[in-house]
Amino acid sequence: MTTDTGTKQPPTPDGVPLLGNGLAFSRDPFGAVVKWARKGNVVHLNFPGRWHC
């Protein structure tokens, strides 16, 4: 995936609409982080109202 500037974005783990990755993190914080780490060293996370890389 590329943005308008042509830079690559890190992979984004699956999330749910509006809650993003917050639901998985609230259910099992350690398990969610381990699962996201398998996507790569840097991932793009979506939490309610915020985006984190």
Q: Are strands 45-47 and 50-52 parallel, antiparallel or unpaired?
A: antiparallel
pLDDT in tens, the chain (53 residues): 555 667 788 877 777 776 778 888 888 999 988 988 888 888 888 777 655 55
Looking at residue 30, its pLDDT comes to: 94
CA 7 to chain centre: 17
Structure tokens at 21: 């990755």
Task: Count how many domains the chain has.
Answer: 1
Structure tokens at 15: 């999330």
Would residue 45 count as lying in a domain?
Answer: yes
Would residue 14 count as lying in a domain?
Answer: no
Amino acid, res. 12: T
Looking at residue 50, its pLDDT comes to: 58
Looking at residue 31, its pLDDT comes to: 92
Residue 34's domain comprises 22-52
